[in-house]
Structure 1
Amino acid sequence: MNGRRVIAYGLAALGLFLLAAPAVLAATSGAHAAPAGGIRGLVKQSAGGVCAADEPCDGVGRNMLLAFSRPGQPDARVRSTASGTFRISLRPGRYQVRAVAAPPLQAAPAAITVPASGWAIVVLRLGAAKHAMISPGG
């Protein structure tokens, strides 16, 4: 082979590598990409719940720390907003949810399923542990 052919083959190989590299990177990085969905919703407190002195007692679960867990994984946590809403990105699957709070607002764990794509939308109602429940969408 003469020098020109070696250079031509080298440049052709480099061109193929540069064309293929983005596809390979996209395929391998997808395994570690952030989830495209999760759980979002509203936290409500049951009637008769205890309210902090500096917060209105209107049934909205303000500033509540929620923990979402599944076997073999660390808990994912999110705090509800001043209006009681929350949103947490999670991979698809079934999660147990509980309020991380001192009594009397401890919630019994409830199961929520994150769909393969998109968001699970829930209303989480907190109260005494025996009354805690989760209702889908509303």
Structure 2
Amino acid sequence: MIRASMAALVLAVGISACGHTTEPASGSSATPSSSAAGMNVSGVVDRSGQAAACPTDEPCDPPLTAVYLVFSRPGYPDVRVQVAGDGKFAVHLGPGAYTIAAAPPPMRGKLTPNSVRVPQEGVVTLRLVIA
């Protein structure tokens, strides 16, 4: 229990050290939104473009959207955030332009938008689509 609490604290401090706020890159589907608990980039990964690979008339689980999203910018370490089962995510990023990738990469389709600009102040909500 203490180890789990310490691990969560270390993770929270590590994420907090990564930066500040977000604004959509031109052409992205990001929209301004409010922040929760210091997270300045949040949103949902939508897999609506992916069809489930299941035989007809047999129930199955939908494909995973992505286990993680990876936010990258030149000269800085990548920032990984876990995507919840419902597709939601939240992370705190420093100002700058980031590329966004799914990890592992989707077997079919691609993640869009694949970039975001994080400004000095403000927050954004992204709707990422795998199609």
Q: After superposition, give the CA deviation of every residue in 1:95-127 in whole Å (9 maximum; x if it has no partner).
A: 000111242255367110112113221100013
1:67 to 66, 70, 75: 70
Does residue 1:122 correspond to 2:126, yes or no? yes
CA pair 111-48 structure 1, distance change in 2 beyond 3 A: closer
| Equivalent pair of 1:45/1:125 in contact (CA under 8 Å) | yes
2:89 to 82, 86, 89: 86
Larger Rg: 1
Q: After superposition, give the CA deviation of every residue in 1:6-60 in whole Å (9 maximum; x if it has no partner).
A: xxxxxxxxxxxxxxxxxxxxxxxxxxx7334331101001423446986346xx8
Give structure 2 stretches of 5+ with no counterpart. 1-15, 22-39
CA pair 46-70 structure 1, distance change in 2 beyond 3 A: same
Where does residue 61 of structure 2 map in the other structure?
A: 55
Q: Secondary structure at the match of 1:83?
A: coil
- Identity among equivalent positions (%) equals 29
Aligned mates of 1:79, 1:115 — CA distance in 2: 22
Deviates further, 36-45 or 89-98: 36-45
Where does residue 13 of structure 2 map in the other structure?
A: none
Aligned mates of 2:52, 2:79 — CA distance in 1: 26
Where does residue 42 of structure 1 map in the other structure?
A: 44
Higher helix proportion: 1
Give the TM-score normalised by structure 2: 0.56
